[in-house]
Structures are given as structure tokens and as C-alpha cells.
A and B are shown apart, each in its own frame.
Chain A
Amino acid sequence: MSSTTGIGASVLRKEDIRFITGKGQYTDDVNRQGQAHAYFLRSPHAHATIKKLDISAAKKAPGVLDVLTGDDLAHDKVGGLICGWMIHNKDGSPMKAGAHPALAQGKVRYVGDHVAVIIAETYSQAKDAAEKIVVDYGVLPAVVDMNTASKGPAIHDVASDNVVYDWHLGDKAATEAAFKNAKHVTKIDLVNNRLIPNAMEPRAAVGDYDAGTEVFTLYTTSQNPHVARLVLSAFIGIAPEHKLRVIAPDVGGGFGSKIFIYAEETVCVWASKRVGRPVKWTADRTEAFLSDAHGRDHITHAELALDDKGKILAFRVKTKANLGAYLSTFSSCVPTYLYAPLLSGQYDIPAIYVEVEGIYTTTAPVDAYRGAGRPEATFVVERVMEVAARELGMDPATFRRKNFVKSFPHQTPVIMCYDTGNYTASLDLALEMADYKNFGKRKKESAKNGKLRGIGFSAYIEACGIAPSAAVGSLGAGVGLWESAEVRVNPVGTVEVLTGSHSHGQGHETTFAQLVSDRLGIDINSVAIVHGDTDKVQFGMGTYGSRSGSVGMSAISKALDKVIAKGKKVASYALEASEKDIEFKDGRFSVAGTDKSLAFGEVALQAYIAHKFTGAELEPGLKEGAFYDPTNFTFPSGVHICEVEIDPDTGVTSIEKWTAVDDFGNVINPMIVEGQVHGGIAQGIGQALMEGAHYDKDGQLVTASYMDYTMPRADNLPSFQIGMTNTPCTTNPLGLKGCGEAGAIASPPAVINAITDAIGHENIAMPATPQAVWMAIQASGSKIAAE
């Protein structure tokens, strides 16, 4: 097809028209006939038994239809929320997963935990009635600090020491041996600060039970409606899958936080049958802060063993990961299999050993947030690389270059086999774009103005295209992570593609249509992408882990292959030629060596009218489906360089220049890919400079609004310079690697490496607020400022 709408073109987004005119349809925009409203009474305590719960007065309050509690869930045999990935301890025993009821059953475990739900004619009436519920709490000590969590009290009876698992990966003996031979060991202690995802659309749900058909419909803010249906059906037991429809309409950002199956949607869909009315709930922002799954929250000690020439010999890492009060849907795999296998970074490291303790605390559940384990790994690797280079007196770019993996495929000591890459090319381009060679001049210029200038590198790698089903199954995943697609060609040659991927900002309606337009040679406006409804799309695993291109589009590509193959059969009858002589190019089926041909739409029509072949020869119609299961992860990589200027009098860090060079393999739509990078960098800068969830010693979340939790705003950020290199992925048909998380993975260490370069010492934690930077400068002595 024309290069203006095919693969590689920056096609303007098809979905934009509805969003810019206010015609998007988000879950809170859905209103069902007779709809009632839910309000959740949440625990004000971090840790308490519920000695008495009196709902009688609330039930009589104006407009109230019902007040439901954990007892009602138990009565209706509604199961608890699940964690879908089993992790095993070092000794082979399974992790300790405590029960997770959607409404508390005798105990609350974090501030914001769900005590009861009030369903009323209006939201205000439900909220007012909540004040009439009397709860007698037996308050227990909060468990907030991971370092002392083992002293208790136990949050779940199954884990007396509050340890979920004690897990490891790698070759301990080989690592220890390599450390014995090391000429230099770089040691570092790091905190990866806890973040709150903050998609701009708060979570919402509308449950609607049809007593006539016994079908439940759930509208929900989900990144993976089929996974939601699977969990709500097979594990929680709301209804069998054929009696449960889940619709995720337009979704206003996810970043991981909308992967998970939460208490609120479970309760809304269940309660819609209890009260006989559709039930709607929309989080206010403070509820989102309290109850959306949080991200990151690691404490890590890492040691890098080096020889006398600056070659890495081994790497050992010990991490404590906060998992919160309950194990959220995919929480257990984030600090284990999404983290430790990335600790080889872009480097050839002969031996690695990683130990991870997952810890229960009386805080909100912690699960995947943009990058999910990979930003945490990259922060460890790229901070230790920078510190090691400084300790060795080597240029940080040279030190990295020396240790890069240079031949592929490359098997790391921690599971992953990198199929392809060219790390040197990304570094070279980044150095040039960042004008690294003149950094010294700029630093002197800043010093003349009394400012501290620093430069920081981050050479990241991530594992995307999640994931080969058999591989993740062997590691404990409860599901397969393939993707499905169905291509329906209409008799007039227009096409609907049904995909199990879900778009919540990524622009699938455009990029997926570009692929179809390109392959079938039809106008991009003749292609519609259908997603987000379990009644339309048969099955799918959703969108996270930068998988929609490399896995979701690969499934579409496979289905398109089948459509073209079938089209050739149809064309052979219509053109009265042998099937092997039919060629398909630029939207036309033609007989090789002749001028006989039919346009794609004409062949579609022939497939449906079925006049040129008999039923014995060929099935009518043109509709093909495919499931695509990747054979390996994909490995996007790149180099980001951050240049900062710090005012030593105020501690304010200004990002002067941001250079990002990424290798995403082939790119469908550069405009959209660059947009993904921009957004990821902004979230990473947010983590590095501003954001941080903070619980006080009593387990109160003190950062539970936009007045307390600092979100990056337009005036906090620079514009970004984006460059790309391209080594196509070798394991999927389109050569795609994925781009959704790269920015958030790459950027935090780049910022901190720049700040530590500027202030001349390593001890600064994220978020590096002006106060933190100022204090670090004071602690390091005023000599830097005076230089």
C-alpha cells in the first residue's frame, strides 16, 4: 500500500477524533437503565481485626438498596482475589499467599482495605450512609518497614514472619568463586522508591445482571478484559465464562495498574444480581491512591566484581521487595521473573546470583507498574555500572562499551537469551546527539554561573513481548501469554480485525490498521480494529509488557497470511487459473505472467457469493483467525543520556538535555513510538525527581492526593531528543521488539547518575527533590559548590 499509511509511516491516529471532540466512551460514561451507585467503606487503620460491624442503621438510610459485607460474599460462595503466578522458595516450597477477600472477613490489612459496600440510588446517598456503619476495630501494630517486617505481627496467618517468599536465581557457587578472583568490587545500596501509577482515568466499574438470560455484564477499566473474565469466572466464581461478558471500553491510561482484578469490579458485578439493579462505582482520586496497586518499592544491595582491566567478572544482588498487604494478580512475578533475569543488562557477565525476599506489609498491594521489574533491574545495573566506572577512573561510556554483549544470540546466566542487538551503535548515536565531547565545556560554563552540571548514562535492556507460554508456565505462571486475532473480510472488501490486545492510549486502532492496510493493499479507512469486549473477541491476553506489537500484531500477521492464502484459492477459481500461479501484490490477486487480475475486494466478493466454486471444492467466506505464541522474549534496548544543572543554593535540578536512542527493532508508526518514549521518560523522571508514595509509621498513606504526591507537570520537564537504531527482532514475523515501557525503564538511573556526577557523591535517594539534593550537597561539603 502507499507509504503514507503502511508500515513505517507516521499516520495520524484514527481514534483521536472521538477523544478530541469529547466523544470517547470511558467506563464512567457508561450509564445503564436503573443503575444504582456503590460506595466502599474503607479501613482507616493499617492493621486491625473487625470485632463488630453494624450495618443496620446504614441499611435504613435514605436511598440505600443494600449494604453488603464479607459475610455476604462468603454466603454466596464468591471466592477471593487471586495471584496468578506461583513462586517457589529456595528450598522448593511454595510461596505463602494469604487469602484476599473482596470485602474484609474479620480483618483489615491496609488503609483503604474494603470493609463494606453501600449500594444506593445515588452516589451521595451511598456515601452518606457509609457514615452510619459502626465498626469496632481491634487495632494492631502497622507493619510498614520491610527491614523490620519479620518481627511482626503477622499480617496473614500463613506467613508468620511476613515473608511471602525467599527466592533466588543464578549460580551462587560460580558467582562466589568469581568474587574471590576480583581485583575490584563495587558495592552499592539502593532504594527503588514506591510509586503510585496514577492513570488519569480513575478505575471504574459497572456491573449489570440480566435475570432473563442469567448473563452478567461488567464494564470495567481493564487492560485485559479476557483475563478479568477468566479470573472472575474460573477463580472468583461469579459466573461461568459463557454467562459473563466483560467490556473494557475506552480506557484512560493503565501503566499496569489496570491489569489486575480488583475488589471493586468483583463486588459491582456480584452485587448487581444481589440488588437486581446495575451497580456503578467510580474511584475518586484518593481512593485511587489508596487502592490501586502501587509499583516498585525495593531495597537492594548489589556488588559487582571486576578484573584489573575493568571487565566484569560477576554480579550479586540481594533485594527485598514490598508486596503490600495482599498478593495482587501478578505481583509475585514482578520482583522475581520480571526483575532478576534482566540483571545482566547489556553486559557480558559470566556469573550472576540474585536473592529476592518478597515481604508482606500493611500497605496497598504492589504489582506491575510501567516496566514492572525491569526498571528496578535497570536501576540496579546502571547505578552500579556508573559507580564502578567512577571508582575505576574510567569514562562511563568507555566502561560500558568494554563490557557490552557484542555477539548474538547471547545466553545470559539468568535465563534470558538475547536474540539480537547492537549496543555500540546506540551508544555511539547517543554520544553524538548528546554532544558528549563538549560536555566538559558546558560544565565549566555552568560552574562560572555557580551551577553544578552533571551527565548520566543509562544503557538499558528489557524483556518484552511477554511471553512464550511454555517458558512462563515452567516458571510458575498460571496462564499462557500468547495472543489471538481474527481477520474478518466483508464482501465489499472492508476488514474488521478482532484482537485480544487492548488499547488504552497506545493507538492500536491506527498501528494495527497500518499493518492490515500494508499487507492487504487496502485503504486504511477500510480497516476497523475491534477490541475490549469478550462477546466480540473470542479470547486474548490483553496489553502490558510491551506485548501488543510483538505478540498481538504477530497474531494479526499470522491471520492475514491465512486470509491471503484463502484469497489465492478463491482467485484461482475466479480467474480460472491454477492456485500455484496466483500472486498477491499491492492489493491484487493476479495470474503470473498474464494481465488477468482481481482486486482484493473483488476476491472477497467472490468468496462470499461463491458462484465460481462448489462447496465440495472450497468453503465460502473470507475470515481467518490465529493464535500466536512467541518463541522468545524480545529485547528492546538503548542508551539514554541525561544532562542536568543543579543550583547548589536551592538544590533544584534542571534537566538541560535528554537524549534517548532506542532500538525497538522495526517500527510501525514512528510518531506513536516516539510518543510512547516521551511518556515513559516523563514517568521515569517523575520517579527520579518527584514521585514517592509515603506511609507513616502507623501505615497512613500521607501522599494520597495530587497536593501531596508530586506528579510531573509540563513545567517540570524538558523536550526530548529521540533517536533510533534498528536491529529487527529475529523471533517474530514483523521484527518488532516493543516500545511501551522503555522510557520508564531507562530514565531513573540516567537522572540519578547525572545528579551524582554533578554533586560528586553517590548517596542520594529517589526522589531527588530539591531538599534531598541540597542536603546531599551539604553532606558532601561545600567544596563542590565553590569549584
Chain B
Amino acid sequence: MASVTMIVNGKEVTANVDPRTLLAQFLREHLHLTGTHVGCDTSQCGACVVHVDGRSIKSCTTLAVACDGASVTTIEGIGTPDHLHPMQAAFRENHGLQCGFCTPGMIMSAIDIVNRKGHQLDEHTIREELEGNICRCTGYHNIVKAVAAGAQAMAGK
């Protein structure tokens, strides 16, 4: 077992884990933060995207022990039903989700895109940048609209 300490959604957590525990497992099974999903276990689908020290990573292929000392933000850490993050609100307002399974990863990736590329995002940029997140329901049409709208809304946050 290995001891790991990290800040998750602003709170410090310490746990003893099997060294092979993945960050996604640690979040879901140890911390019961089940908003982070595992869709493929090979870094392809992006349902598991979280932010580690402000950058988006795929938590299904990151060891929890590799995040020792890091600050981790999950979908549960960016907004609540009463105080949605502008990107969360944009996904709802633009019908950017159907089954909702890929959505947490989509939203976390979208916020990361805005952090890197700014608030005025054209369709081509959004589509290229979402390459690491798979959605099977929406055909991406409304996700693209949601990301563009969310990016603009984040400017006024």
C-alpha cells in the first residue's frame, strides 16, 4: 500500500491505496466522486477528464500516486446545481448532452480549451480541440455550440 495526499476540489485528502490504483478509481471508489466516468480505459474517450494542477488529464490512465501533492478538480468541484459553472450552464442551454455519460469529461475538457485558447473560439478550433473526447449521442453539433457559448460566458464570469 502507498500513502497518497492530494487536494481534491479544495479539500485535502490522504489515503492508503494499492499502488496500481488509478486516479479515476481513487476518485470514484475511495472518494465516491462518481461524476468522473471511465468509458474506455485507454485514454481515448475522455469521459474521465479532470484537472490536475490546472491542466486537463485523463484520470483513467494516471496513477493516483503520481498525483501525490497535486491539486485535483473534478466535475463536482466546478459548480453545483444552484451555482453552475458557465460551461455547465452552456451545455444545458445548448442541449449539449443526451445520456450524460461523456458530459463531465466534455465540460472539463471544454474549460481547459478556454483556459488555453481564450474566449472567442471558432467551430474549427473547438472541433479540433475536442478530438480527445468521444460522444456517441449528440453528433457533437450542440456540444460545439455549447463550448463556444460557454467560452464567451466564462469571459464574464
Contact = CB atoms under 8 A, between A and B. Distances in A.
Contacts of A28: 28, 34, 37-38
A683 interface: yes
Interface in A498-545: 504-507
B95 A682 contact: no
B36 interface: yes
B26 interface: no
Given A252-B100, A717-B140, A12 B130 contact: no
B148 to A, nearest CB: 11
Interface string B102-143: 111001000000000000000100111011011111111111
Contacts of A712: 139
Contacts of B97: 16, 19-20
Interface string B79-93: 111001000110111
Contact of A679 (B38, B103, B139): B139
Contacts of B20: 124
B142 A713 contact: no
B99 interface: yes
B127 A252 contact: no
Contact of A715 (B18, B47, B127): B127
Contacts of A680: 139
A705 B99 CA distance: 21
A427 to B, nearest CB: 23
Contacts, number: 183
A711 B100 CA distance: 18
A198 B144 CA distance: 21
Contacts of A705: 40, 42, 44
Given A199-B136, A705-B44, A20 B103 contact: yes
A201 interface: yes
A715 B128 contact: yes
A679 B35 contact: no
Question: Chain B interface residue count: which class?
Answer: 35 or more
A657 to B, nearest CB: 14
Given A16-B91, A252-B100, A679 B136 contact: yes
Contacts of B80: 21
A20 B107 CA distance: 8
B140 A682 contact: yes
Given A12-B93, A714-B133, A199 B99 contact: yes
A18 B47 CA distance: 16
Interface stretch (A311-319, A549-557, A670-678): A670-678
Contact of A200 (B93, B99, B127, B144): B99
Contacts of A20: 75, 79, 84, 88-89, 91-92, 97, 100, 103-104, 107
A391 interface: no
A681 interface: yes
Interface in A674-700: 674-676, 678-683
A200 B139 contact: no
A137 interface: no
A284 to B, nearest CB: 5
Secondary structure call for the B interface: loop
Given A21-B80, A285-B42, A714-B143, A671 B95 contact: yes
A616 interface: no
Contacts of A682: 138-141
Given A24-B100, A199-B99, A253 B139 contact: no
Interface residues of A, number: 56
Contacts of A18: 81, 100
Residue among A198, A200, A706 with max Cβ neighbours from chain B (10 Å): A200
A786 to B, nearest CB: 30
A537 to B, nearest CB: 20
A13 interface: yes
A200 B138 contact: no
Interface in A13-27: 13, 15-26
Q: Most chain-B CB neighbours within 10 Å: which of A19, A672, A679?
A: A19
Contact of A672 (B33, B35, B37, B95): B95
B76 A507 contact: no
Given A19-B97, A20-B84, A706 B18 contact: no
A720 interface: yes
A13 B97 CA distance: 10
A251 interface: yes
A23 B93 contact: no
Given A20-B84, A124-B18, A255-B136, A13 B99 contact: no
B107 to A, nearest CB: 7
B74 interface: yes
A713 B100 contact: no
A714 B130 contact: yes
B42 A714 contact: no
Nearest to B103: A19
9 contacts: A12-B93, A19-B100, A22-B74, A200-B135, A250-B100, A678-B140, A679-B137, A679-B138, A713-B131
Given A200-B137, A719-B141, 11 more contacts: A19-B103, A24-B35, A24-B101, A28-B37, A202-B38, A250-B99, A678-B138, A682-B140, A711-B134, A711-B136, A713-B131
Interface of B: 18, 20, 28, 33-42, 44-45, 47, 74-76, 79-81, 84, 88-89, 91-93, 95, 97-104, 107, 123, 126-128, 130-131, 133-144
| Closest A-B pairs by Cβ, 5 of them | A22-B35, A19-B100, A252-B101, A682-B139, A505-B99
